[in-house]
Amino acid sequence: MTSSGFVGLAGRPNVGKSTLVNALVGSHVAIVSVRPQTTRRAIRGVATDLEAGRQLVLVDLPGVQRPRDEMTERMQHRVERELADSDVALLVVNGEEGVGAGDRFIARSLLAAGPQIPIICVVNKADRLGPNEMVPALADAANLQGVDEVFPISARSGEGLPPLLERLGELIPEGPYMYPPEDSSDQSSELLLAELIREQVLNRTRQEIPHSVEVSVLDVTPREDGLVTVKAEIWAETESQKGILIGKGGAKIGEIGTGARRSLERELGSQVHLDLKIRVRRHWRRDEDLLDRLGIE
């Protein structure tokens, strides 16, 4: 008999949800950045253990936040829908920062979204805490409203992940696998490549740029010699943002392109020629039809 279920990850922006999904799946399915609001869609990472007969579908949700525009409003609604449909809620808190008002608000929101759903809290970055810091961090997490169990982990090092996986496997219902065991994500190839390019933009720009940028992959063409040509656009909202992304003498776009090409090559397992252009697309975050096409529901 196999078991399969959805695990919705919730938490404040930038607490390590995407890093945790990648660690549990064992593959780079969710982009990682120090910038808040990196995750815009509900990305499903699939972690299948054939020996244990379990499949965890880990839903990496955008960080819970106050909506500021059409895009962030959609992101927040998606968080609420996905959590209501989950079999287990996984609340991620940053152990270095400790439990704060934002964590308490999210815990109450999880309880309201599905009172019958088990809520597991993970205290991330536990490898950076000494004994005198660990005990109060775990105690504060255990006292969050609705939390059933607490696990100290490090998504980056893998510390504490095996017992967490084991417990999540016990909480999901019996049933057939929802995805083929070899799958690691439900994302299309084009979307994953676009996100890998956006990851490089996020990690190499500052100020207003990260939140105003989207990436669209226009074409992926394998050649007979094994080289893969990827054509993509980076969208900015203003000409000044476009200038920052290009950089002096094209230095910034060259830096982004080099980092992105390496990420794409790791993902595709072949050499990549990346044709990367920057386009101004004003107010794209307010364009409901465009957000529909981008899959930001």
How does 171-186 read in b/e, with b if 16+ C-beta sit within 10 Å? bbeeeebeeeeebbbb
SS3 content of the chain, % helix, strand, coil (to 5): 40, 25, 35
Residue 185 token pair = 């994500």
pLDDT (0 to 100) of residue 67: 53
pLDDT (0 to 100) of residue 257: 94
Please work out, in degrees rounded to the nearest 5, the angle formed at the alpha carbon of residue 294 by the alpha carbons of 223 and 180. Answer: 65
Comparing CA positions, the residue from 156, 83, 161 lying closest to residue 119 is 83
Kindly list the distances between the CA atom of residue 135 and the CA atoms of 87, 93, 98, 139, 179, in Å, as whole numbers in the listed order: 29, 14, 11, 6, 39
Beta bridge partners of 35: none
pTM over 0.85: no
pLDDT (0 to 100) of residue 270: 93
Pairing of the two strands 88-94 and 119-124: parallel
- Domain locations along the chain: 3-171, 189-294
pLDDT (0 to 100) of residue 284: 65
Say if residues 97 and 13 touch (Cβ distance below 8 Å): no
Query: How many residues are listed for the chain in this entry?
Result: 297
pLDDT (0 to 100) of residue 18: 85
What's the alpha-carbon Rg for the chain, to the nearest Å? 20
pLDDT (0 to 100) of residue 289: 58
How does 49-64 read in b/e, with b if 16+ C-beta sit within 10 Å? eeeeebbbbbbbbbbb
Residue 97 token pair = 């920062």
**Per-residue tens of pLDDT for the chain, all 297 residues:** 899 999 989 888 778 888 999 899 998 887 665 555 555 555 788 999 999 999 999 987 655 555 555 555 655 566 666 677 789 999 999 999 999 998 998 888 888 776 688 999 999 999 998 888 999 999 999 999 999 999 999 999 999 999 999 999 999 999 999 999 999 887 778 888 988 898 888 888 876 565 678 888 999 999 989 899 999 999 888 898 899 899 899 999 999 999 999 999 998 999 999 999 998 888 766 656 555 555 555
For residue 83, give the 3-state DSSP assignment: helix
> Residue 190: is it exposed, middle or buried by C-beta count within 10 angstroms (0-12/13-18/19+)?
middle
Comparing CA positions, the residue from 55, 59, 80 lying closest to residue 5 is 55
Instruction: Report the distance separating Cα 143 and Cα 2, nearest Å.
Output: 33
pLDDT (0 to 100) of residue 203: 83
Q: Give the position of tokens 């660990």.
A: 134
Say if residues 101 and 93 touch (Cβ distance below 8 Å): no
Architecture of the 3-171 domain: 3-Layer(aba) Sandwich (3.40)
pLDDT (0 to 100) of residue 297: 52
Pairing of the two strands 119-124 and 43-49: unpaired
CA 151 vs. chain centroid, Å, equals 20
Beta bridge partners of 56: 5, 47
Same fold yes or no, 3-171 and 189-294 = no
Instruction: Report the distance separating Cα 140 and Cα 124, nearest Å.
Output: 13
Comparing CA positions, the residue from 95, 18, 93, 28 lying closest to residue 58 is 18
pLDDT (0 to 100) of residue 278: 92
- 174: alpha, beta or left? (left if phi > 0; alpha if psi -120 to 50): beta
Fold exhibited by the domain 189-294: GMP Synthetase; Chain A, domain 3 (3.30.300)
pLDDT (0 to 100) of residue 285: 63
> Residue 132: is it exposed, middle or buried by C-beta count within 10 angstroms (0-12/13-18/19+)?
exposed
